[in-house]
Amino acid sequence: MKTGCFFTYGGPGRISIARFVPRDIPDGYRVFKQLAPRRWFNGASKDEFEETFDRHLHTLDPVKIWIELHELAGAAAGHEAVSGAGSLAEPVLLCWERPPLDHSNWCHRRSVARWFHETLGEEVAEL
Tens of pLDDT, residue by residue over 33-92, are: 999 988 766 778 888 888 999 999 999 999 999 999 999 998 655 544 444 444 468 999
Range of the domain at 92: 2-126
| Backbone φ/ψ region at 24: left (φ over 0), alpha (ψ -120 to 50), beta | left
The structural domain count of the chain equals: 1
Rounded CA-CA distance 87/48 in Å is 35
pLDDT at residue number 105: 66
Helix (H/G/I), strand (E/B), else coil: 106:
coil
Q: What are phi and psi of 94, to 5 degrees?
A: -115, 145
What pairing do the DSSP bridges indicate for beta strands 125-126 and 14-16?
unpaired
Largest CA-CA distance found in the chain, in angstroms, rounded: 40
Alpha-carbon 87 to chain mean position: 17
Q: How confident is the model at residue 127 (pLDDT cuts 50, 70, 90)?
A: very high
Dihedral, CA of residue 60, residue 61, residue 62 and residue 63, to nearest 10: -160
Least confident residue range of 23-27, 82-86, 103-107, 121-125: 82-86
Q: How confident is the model at residue 99 (pLDDT cuts 50, 70, 90)?
A: confident
How high does pLDDT run on average in the chain? 86
pLDDT at residue number 89: 83
